[in-house]
A and B are shown apart, each in its own frame.
Chain A
Amino acid sequence: MCPPHFPHHLPYLSLSLPCPPLTPPCPRVPPGHPRFFNQLFSGLDHHALAGRFLTETLNTTPYTYEVAPVLLLMEEQVLAKLRELVGWSSGDGIFAPGGSMSNMLAMNVARFQRFPESRSRGNWDLPRLGLFASQESHYSILKGAALLGIGTDNVHLVRTDERGKMIPEELEKEIQRVKAEGSEPLFVCATSGTTVLGSFDPLDAIADVCARHGLWLHVDAAWGGSALLSPQLRHLLAGIHRYVPPPVPLRRCSPSQIPGLLQRCHGMGATYLFQRDKFYDVSLDTGDKSPQCGRRADGLKLWILWKAVGTRGLARRVERAYLLEQVKRREGFQLVMEPEFLNLCFWFIPPSLRGQHSSPEFWDKLGKVAPAIKEKMMRRGSMMVGYQPHGSRVNFFRQIITNPAVTRRDLDFFLDEIQELGRDL
């Protein structure tokens, strides 16, 4: 699957420019492979792929109706559909180049809504703001705080329970504490589907806290939002409709419930692009509500996928998730916690360490196991799965299955392979 090549071996690829003859590089680690479980994306969807080929060939930016009529209308349609899933009958939205950017947009819009003059005056004479997110939240919240001039110190990470879910009482406490210190709480980011553990924050309870304090509730559902498609799984996001605005995840867009807010927050009305005297209804020129100018037309691939597969087809994909039972049955595999979603986190305990939980060096030694197995699997090229330390927990594997091409055999292989590679550690 991935013939191993390490940085010092790769120069054979002739990266210097220009240098005939033309030598196209070969892919090494294809995320389309059924045994690529390394990230929160994988698989190859043929419809979306055709959509992407088409997007590339059309080569344009959906900022105005005149330049990209079809793509712009399509984006609006997709955004409306996503809002429907969230439970809103109206609202707004925009596609962004990544969940990180969606989170940052939301932060900016929240700041603008509370302090509209900050758009022109800046932050410097505002009080210190307070942002809240769970300890398990995505790191883009910190990056966003830094970029927006709010400061990473002003991101208050709220404690989570043993299942990785934000504790609403702790959120309340943090808000009170921050207020007492003289800061102004502004924004709470709840996460639906955390990156490592796949946990879902209790949205209703958190919305109650936000309502009490008048705070903007943003739901980072970049990963877990797709559960909204499934009648079986949507309960995980119960309460998502209650506030504004979640970035719904089926790739990178951030709907917002207050029409016009995005435009007022980001719009600059550049006269060379958003002329008012065009011969069609210029309210269709929605590009100005983005902080970007040029932008990829990301809506097309999702639209084609949705047309081909239907909402029910997409739901089936989300539901077809993990083989938790196998992990529980096999010796040497230990779950980090019972998963809610598609993140299956576990340790592999090699024979040499089994039964030694009480030994003081156990965890230290266990922490070295995952990196060693990862190295072996990559050198062998048989599969890829991610590992990480997390909080006080030593390195564990995070198995994620989003690829509809994965079979049960692949999952059995996955466990067999880990056992084999870790056998004599």
Chain B
Amino acid sequence: MQVGVCKQEMLQKKNAVLVDGVILNGPIMDSKVGEKFVEEACKIIMEEVVQKADDVTEKVCEWQAPEKLKQILDLEMRDTGECHQKILQLCRDVIKYSVKTNHPRFFNQLYAGIDYYSLVARFITEALNPSVYTYEVSPVFLLVEEAVIKKMIEFIGWEEGDGIFNPGGSVSNMYAMNLARYKFCPEIKEKGLSGLPRLVLFASEECHYSMKKAASFLGIGTENVYFIQTDERGKMIPEELEKQVQRARKEGSAPFLVCATAGTTVLGAFDPLDKIADICEKHGLWLHVDASWGGSALISRKHRRLLHGIHRADSVAWNPHKMLLAGIQCCALLVKDNSGLLKKCYSAEAAYLFQQDKFYDVSYDTGDKSIQCSRRPDAFKFWLMWKALGTTGLEERVNRALALARYLVEEIKKREGFQLLLEPEYANVCFWYIPPSLRKMEDGPEFWQKLHQVAPVIKERMMKKGSMMLGYQPHRGKVNFFRQVVISPQVSREDMDFLLDEIELLAEDL
């Protein structure tokens, strides 16, 4: 950048032009300096994040209280910029104080680990900065998205279908809800809901909270989500669904959608899709399967039975960024209907973007089937990873994660003080840790009250130590328990042993 050179000099160089007080000549960015900056930043990223990603001796998190962290980070954005050395130091600080979700002992969420192919793909898309709405602007990424959707549909078991990548499973669920509503009554797109019968949808009581957010957002209302009772394993009870549908009809409301969950957030339970599909067919209801978490089991020949019946769904949400490590965000909504329903439901046919007189086949301009305008090429990282690993490589990942979960379950059963909530079907291992001081206590409200306080303390200690991260929550009348989730192929059997040892250590004096 030409800092400090006076205006006159700049105007003399190379026939510059002064317009509205702005000097127009060469670019105002020094590309060489910028490129060097990118190289140095990448070096830091490689050294501090990528190369340390699988090192268990590194901390998972460098805990700082918020007020302290604000001071350390120098967050303020000022009038003038800072020099590159300062910016690079800021990058180092950002890395240091960020939680290392790539770490083998990060078990806190339904995502973890690092996939190197996906990471490279993401660097490519960031550098290219495309938006996947039209073929002219994003030919490769658009075709890649189509190919990935086609492949995912194959795994669901449909012969054909449609789909789109979204910024989140929550958004996929929203899409599905709106699509089902549009199918039920296409006029709603133009007329809205005012004055219509009350629409009602059904989901299990274990479903993801995005169903409520979507119902509210779409103007359906959270009250009109009828939650269906689940059994002791967290699975929707089909007979209860039937009852609720009948009830809704009697009330004079208009049922239109059932959302089954394949892999619930906390317990990792899978609803019985075949039976639910029977009920949907009987009553003419759209069946959406939220397989954001559990969908990846479809890739494993061993475990795909968990989603038996999924081909009967009308729509499926599936997030490869969870179990398959495709990188946040990578979320697909797949739709069985191949008659252009997505497009009919969502299109607005903006003339400045979707011109009909282009010189190529404009049916490739698929952006108009999205709620969004600009959209990220999220399918590409999944595609590159799939090309690198092959279906068998992805399958191995899923099988291994579930085998590790099984190993952990067996170890938990052997160890005193650890108590499983239930026998898991998937990668969620839910358990309590009962410290020695509570082990002799009688089962009763006082016991549970005290136990409820144990997990938060252990969590605080593990975070301040930085040794690992694991989530806890109360759930359906049960006091705080840990939810261990196994995803990353960098996780070893030793890490599972460590998990249990560390909890014991941290809770020694409780």
Asked if residues B25 and A408 are in contact (CB atoms below 8 Å), the reply is: yes
Q: A22–B98 Cα gap in the complex (Å)?
A: 33
Q: Which of B127-135, B229-237, B442-450 contacts A (4 or more CB under 8 A)?
A: B127-135
- Tell me if A180 counts as interface (CB < 8 A to partner B): no
Contacts of B463 in A (CB 8 A): 66, 279
Asked if residues B108 and A29 are in contact (CB atoms below 8 Å), the reply is: no
Interface residues on A, range: 35 or more
Residue of A nearest to B321 (CB): A294
Asked if residues B328 and A296 are in contact (CB atoms below 8 Å), the reply is: yes
Measured between C-beta atoms, what is the minimum distance from B275 to chain A in Å? 26
Contacts of A159 in B (CB 8 A): none
Q: A195–B16 Cα gap in the complex (Å)?
A: 30
Contacts of A294 in B (CB 8 A): 111, 168-170, 319, 321, 328-329, 331
Asked if residues B352 and A390 are in contact (CB atoms below 8 Å), the reply is: yes
Q: A288–B383 Cα gap in the complex (Å)?
A: 31
- Tell me if B197 counts as interface (CB < 8 A to partner A): yes
Asked if residues B221 and A122 are in contact (CB atoms below 8 Å), the reply is: yes
Asked if residues A24 and B329 are in contact (CB atoms below 8 Å), the reply is: no
Kindly identify, within residues 85 to 120 of chain A, every residue whose CB is under 8 Å from any CB belonging to chain B: 97-101, 104, 108, 111, 118-120
- Given A122-B224, A295-B167, is A15 in contact with B126 using a C-beta cutoff of 8 Å? no
Contacts of B29 in A (CB 8 A): 45-46, 404-405
Q: A74–B321 Cα gap in the complex (Å)?
A: 24
Interface digits, B43-60 against A, CB 8 Å rule (1 contact, 0 not)? 001000110000000000
Measured between C-beta atoms, what is the minimum distance from B252 to chain A in Å? 12
B20, B37, B193, B353: the one contacting A46 at CB < 8 Å is: B37
Q: A69–B372 Cα gap in the complex (Å)?
A: 28
Asked if residues B41 and A101 are in contact (CB atoms below 8 Å), the reply is: no
Asked if residues B26 and A407 are in contact (CB atoms below 8 Å), the reply is: yes
Residue of B nearest to A284 (CB): B66
Interface digits, B62-83 against A, CB 8 Å rule (1 contact, 0 not)? 0011100110010111111110
Residue of B nearest to A268 (CB): B209
A30, A58, A148: the one contacting B101 at CB < 8 Å is: A58
Contacts of B93 in A (CB 8 A): 70
The winner among A15, A23, A389 for most chain B CB atoms within 10 A is A15
Asked if residues A20 and B390 are in contact (CB atoms below 8 Å), the reply is: yes
Contacts of B15 in A (CB 8 A): 408
Asked if residues A53 and B126 are in contact (CB atoms below 8 Å), the reply is: yes
Kindly identify, within residues 229 to 275 of chain B, every residue whose CB is under 8 Å from any CB belonging to chain A: 265-266
Asked if residues B148 and A17 are in contact (CB atoms below 8 Å), the reply is: yes
Measured between C-beta atoms, what is the minimum distance from A237 to chain B in Å? 17
Asked if residues A293 and B208 are in contact (CB atoms below 8 Å), the reply is: yes
Interface digits, A124-141 against B, CB 8 Å rule (1 contact, 0 not)? 111111000000001110
Q: A18–B353 Cα gap in the complex (Å)?
A: 33
Asked if residues B193 and A124 are in contact (CB atoms below 8 Å), the reply is: yes
Asked if residues B193 and A123 are in contact (CB atoms below 8 Å), the reply is: yes
Residue of B nearest to A153 (CB): B190
Contacts of B137 in A (CB 8 A): 29, 31, 38-39, 384
The winner among A5, A7, A17, A127 for most chain B CB atoms within 10 A is A17
Interface digits, B486-507 against A, CB 8 Å rule (1 contact, 0 not)? 0000000000000000000000
Asked if residues B223 and A67 are in contact (CB atoms below 8 Å), the reply is: no
Asked if residues B218 and A149 are in contact (CB atoms below 8 Å), the reply is: yes
Asked if residues A68 and B358 are in contact (CB atoms below 8 Å), the reply is: no
Residue of B nearest to A376 (CB): B359
Contacts of A10 in B (CB 8 A): 139-140, 143
- Tell me if A188 counts as interface (CB < 8 A to partner B): no
- Tell me if A146 counts as interface (CB < 8 A to partner B): yes
Measured between C-beta atoms, what is the minimum distance from A42 to chain B in Å? 8
Residue of A nearest to B348 (CB): A139
- Tell me if B311 counts as interface (CB < 8 A to partner A): no
Residue of A nearest to B30 (CB): A46
Residue of A nearest to B254 (CB): A124
Measured between C-beta atoms, what is the minimum distance from B367 to chain A in Å? 11
Interface digits, A358-402 against B, CB 8 Å rule (1 contact, 0 not)? 000000000010010011001000001011111000010010000
Contacts of A150 in B (CB 8 A): 192-194, 219
Interface digits, A40-52 against B, CB 8 Å rule (1 contact, 0 not)? 0100111101101
23 contacts between A and B (CB under 8 A): A7-B135, A27-B124, A60-B109, A77-B75, A99-B373, A100-B372, A100-B373, A101-B372, A125-B194, A148-B218, A150-B194, A151-B188, A154-B192, A279-B457, A294-B170, A304-B90, A316-B28, A322-B19, A323-B19, A374-B358, A395-B357, A406-B27, A408-B26
The 7 closest A-B pairs by CB, nearest first: A149-B219, A122-B221, A151-B192, A46-B34, A123-B219, A50-B41, A97-B167
